[in-house]
Structure 1
Amino acid sequence: MATSKTTTVSSPGKVLLAGGYLVLDREYSGLVVATSSRFYSTVTSLPKSTDQDKVILSVRAGQFPKESSTWTYAVSIQNDRLMIDQINENAVGKNKFISIALFQTLSLAWEKIATESSSQGLDSGHELLRRITNDGKSDGLEIVVLADNDFYSQREQLSAMSLPTQIRSLSSLQPFTPLPRPIPQTNKTGLGSSAALVTSLVASLLSHLNIVTLPSSSPQSNSNHDLQLVHSLAQFAHCLAQGKVGSGFDVSSAVFGTHIYTRFSPSVLSPLMDRPLDSITFSSPTLLPVLESSQWDQRTTAFRLPKGLRLILADVDAGTDTPSFVGKVLTWRKENPEVAKKLWDDLDRANRQIERLLTELVAREGEHDYEETVGWMGERHIEDVTLSCANIHCSQSAPRTVTRSNFANQIPFQIIRDFQRKMSELSGVPIEPPEQTRLLDACSELEGVIGGGVPGAGGYDALFLLIVDTPSVVSRVDNLWSGWKEMSVCPLLAKQSDDGLRLEELIAVKGLKEALGR
């Protein structure tokens, strides 16, 4: 007899450490770092009721008010079509990321069942409904999505508890802290919540319905065929919900973790972008021929940050809304191709220099004085490291690894920021606004801070720093941020993480079981 099961899949948030704007062009790449903060989608069977004759899919955003954050869909077969209708739209409205992800996932699930069983389309539709209802033993499926606190601004929660906006305060919040208002009225922190949501939702449902088999541990490569299928479906659903084919680095990181990313050709998805969303016709497959990995040309190159270094992030609130910058920058680039090409190429060289240096440092982790070297750097200003160790007259107090790696002399974060400000000036888009410049300059003066910037498209929303990971360096940054007067700066708990999408054991994730029961 079939038994009920629970499936939980998580995906990480992201930070585009290098490659903002450039990552939109296949000629260039981006360095995308996954975060330790994750989005979780948990799938379970709904109980069987005697008065329910519909197959139900219920999706609930577990940190938000239930009455405004639960979306319910009825799935049925009518003639030669599989119909998916939201039955509470009048009460809660639509959530396009959830509805599109559900629709496309069920569409792909039907195509996989039909292809692998060689059954007629209608029979495959009934098989899909059988899996959704656990062989008729339930009314359908409930999916609860929950995000680590870092995905949403916690300023209001800290203020209500009379706590300062510091790292230790965030640590005191309960996991998956309930939020008082619906999603559209809640401020996000720029970690890529929509990409992590769509990816975890697609993967959890495909796994629960036995359409794909996910690796038991977080993937370290993109060679797994089922994982590639999850990636391409999540990319498609996310693009469709956004109304455009974006670069896809956020979804790629949500699946594969930290890596160097070169985007897929937008033409890959062209055949699907105008696909109707009202029903699934039981005819020949349309998704699988496009979403199979052989059709995709993105590149992911393994990468990680060196041991002893840490990515530290902050949610920045300057009192203004960040507009959509990408369209304006791309318009400027189109109108000024020669100037833009030189700027893009210069930025790309600086980005690649960061990649090379950090990769070199990873290769040195086995040297006997590596940890001593990194700790030594943590108590010095980065320019002092350069002056002491950029030549043979290096200070006798410095471990020899720094001398050989010429570490600080090669870090081009400041160069990248200079180029970004030039792009801001030429395009009229505040990629690194003056307020952010002053904050980042102050951070860069602290001992143990290697460099930083505004991630992704820039603006007022966030900043990142790459620091030496010691308590004293973290404390310096934390204290500067909490005392900063020009803007409100709230740290995040997230660090870098190599991991991408993964299956979770419910009891292994702190606070998840309790949050699901709320």
Structure 2
Amino acid sequence: MAVVASAPGKVLMTGGYLVLERPNAGIVLSTNARFYAIVKPFYEEAKPDSWAWGWTDVKLTSPQMGREIMYKLSLKNLMLQCVSSSDSRNPFVEYALQYVVAAAFDIFDKTKKEELQKLLLLGLDITILGCNEFYSYRDQIEARGLPLTPESLASLPPFTSIAFNEDESSGQKSKPEVAKTGLGSSAAMTTAVVAALLHYLGVVSLPSELCDPLEGDKASADLDVVHIIAQTAHCIAQGKVGSGFDVSSAVFGSQRYVRFSPLVISSAQCISSIKNPYSKQVDAGLTIEEAIGSVLKANWDHERTKFSLPPMMTLLLGEPGTGGSSTPSMVGAVKKWQKSDPQNSLETWKKLSDANSTLEMHLKTLSKLAEINFDDYKSTITKCSTLESEKWRDGALETNQIEVVKALLGARNAMLEIRCNMRKMGEAAGIPIEPESQTKLLDTTMNMEGVVLAGVPGAGGFDAVFAVTLGNSSSKVIKFWSSVNVLALLVREDPRGVSLESNDPRAMEVTAAVSSIQID
């Protein structure tokens, strides 16, 4: 039976750059853009000589990219050997597979290990699919003569084939890059694959869409295993230890996040060269199973607190179409600036951190005010959604309504402070964290009726812009963005994290979409 798991993409609303260092926090919103992983046996029954052979077959299919890769997985030392001629390997899935199987062997007792061996000898058939929102389809829309609107995006079939950006500037052939929208596709994909494999092999029981795991229960403990394996695989595949907010939100959903100490995955780094994500060299003193067992037992000191946008607020994401930005190079430039100018960088860092905390405080206040008196909250938000921010105080007569407006304006002012310090940091580091073109767009957006926040998510640059609107004011922003060649994406906040889709009607849609896609 096939297992279908999904994990969401993310938008880092606050904490860009700061979240790389403990104890700075970031607010990350998970979205309705989800990556799906489908896992099922490759064979109906094991081959007669499979026990002696000691290797099992693994097929990885990515229909959107027209790729199919075959592997052999050693059940003795968990080495993975690519047997396809394809040079388009996927290190995220490779490490996810190795580490999940290693975790299963580490966790299971003798009886369960024998059952695991039998299941693995049937082979693994893995299919990965990402919602259209993860990728840029601007070129396809324009080629069809359609306007740059969400409706045009919605007219595309689910899991549409992906276009590539060819780099012809060097005059040499290079590996084409997928045009992305910055929602964290690699983190969502890695998490979905890890979760589906762990569930398929019986290591964890994933929550369904309707389940809300509580701290301390088995579902929460199972998600911790998913998180640890996904973080480790993602870091090793990237060739660096990032902050991990993208994987954490893919597992647990929208949250306030403080990163883990890099030391927790040190045993995994020992068995695989962090500089070369394709290296499969194992330290003679440590097996993959032992290394992953050590990672599972490590003191994961990250912090996460539930967080989501207050009621009647909508997240919008826009693709400016001005080309992407390289987050690693931008992060490198900021770190270089911090070393060269410690005093000024520390001052800007502090102001940015304070503004982030202030925004978080006001958004939490709004959520509390909605709980205390939803009628007053609703009427205030509805009224403000039709007005520019300078007129929000008009008509707020009741005490609760005044408190709602104060919190809205406080959140707005904190966002302006965040943007100001992000620009300062960018100018000092010599990188376009909030490029001038984005500044004009965001200023105009924030001055529109019913807009409380607007900014560049994550590390900034040219990837995307976001806005948070009140009530039913989203349509005006979408219309304006379209008029200035910004494509509003079909992305909204969805606070749930990784989930099992096998009992969800959408699972049938996913598998049907897979079977309808032909791979040349």
TM-score range, shorter chain: 0.7 to 0.9
Q: Secondary structure at the match of 2:118?
A: helix
Decide whether the 8 Å contact of 2:78 with 2:288 is kept in 1.
Answer: no
Decide whether the 8 Å contact of 2:138 with 2:321 is kept in 1.
Answer: no
Deviation at 1:517, TM superposition (A): 1.0
> Is residue 2:22 matched to residue 1:30?
no
Q: Distance in 2 between matches of 1:75 and 1:492?
A: 39
Partner of 2:370: 365
> Is residue 2:120 matched to residue 1:132?
yes
Deviation at 1:507, TM superposition (A): 5.2
Gaps of 5+ in 2: 166-174, 273-278
Deviation at 1:31, TM superposition (A): 0.5
Decide whether the 8 Å contact of 2:325 with 2:461 is kept in 1.
Answer: no
Q: Distance in 2 between matches of 1:283 and 1:421?
A: 44
> Is residue 2:112 matched to residue 1:112?
no
Partner of 1:407: 407
Give the stretch that moved more between structures: 332-341 or 171-180.
171-180
Q: Distance in 2 between matches of 1:7 and 1:300?
A: 28
Q: CA RMSD in A?
A: 2.4
1:324-373 Cα deviation digits (max 9, x unpaired):
20011011112222222221111111111111111111112241222111
Tell me the TM-score normalised to structure 1 length: 0.87
Change (3 A) 1:27 1:179: closer
Decide whether the 8 Å contact of 1:31 with 1:259 is kept in 2.
Answer: yes
1:185-237 Cα deviation digits (max 9, x unpaired):
32000000000000110110011010112223454555411211110111111
**Which residue of the other structure, out of 21, 38, 43, is the alignment partner of 1:42?**
38
Q: Distance in 1 between matches of 2:359 and 2:42?
A: 49
Deviation at 1:70, TM superposition (A): 1.5
Decide whether the 8 Å contact of 1:482 with 1:490 is kept in 2.
Answer: yes
Q: Secondary structure at the match of 1:145?
A: strand
Deviation at 1:179, TM superposition (A): 2.8
Matches within 5 A, 1:208-223: 208-216=200-208, 217-221=210-214, 223=216
Decide whether the 8 Å contact of 1:166 with 1:490 is kept in 2.
Answer: yes
Q: Distance in 2 between matches of 1:83 and 1:409?
A: 56
Matches within 5 A, 1:187-336: 187-216=179-208, 217-221=210-214, 223=216, 224-276=220-272, 278=280, 285-292=290-297, 295-319=299-323, 321-322=325-326, 324-336=329-341
Letter in 2 for 1:142: D
In the alignment of these two chains, the number of paired residues is 482
Letter in 2 for 1:130: K
Change (3 A) 1:296 1:397: closer
Letter in 2 for 1:494: V
Deviation at 1:315, TM superposition (A): 1.8
Letter in 2 for 1:469: G
Decide whether the 8 Å contact of 2:369 with 2:377 is kept in 1.
Answer: yes
Partner of 1:101: 96
Change (3 A) 1:321 1:253: closer
Decide whether the 8 Å contact of 2:65 with 2:162 is kept in 1.
Answer: yes
Give the stretch that moved more between structures: 403-412 or 38-47.
403-412
Change (3 A) 1:283 1:34: closer
Decide whether the 8 Å contact of 1:220 with 1:256 is kept in 2.
Answer: no
Q: Secondary structure at the match of 1:245?
A: coil
1:280-329 Cα deviation digits (max 9, x unpaired):
8879722122223x611000011111110011001222146546200110
Give the stretch that moved more between structures: 396-405 or 146-155.
396-405
Deviation at 1:399, TM superposition (A): 6.1
Decide whether the 8 Å contact of 1:43 with 1:204 is kept in 2.
Answer: yes
Deviation at 1:51, TM superposition (A): 10
Letter in 2 for 1:35: T
Change (3 A) 1:150 1:467: same
Deviation at 1:10, TM superposition (A): 0.6
Letter in 1 for 2:206: L
Q: In percent, how many aligned pairs have the same letter?
A: 36
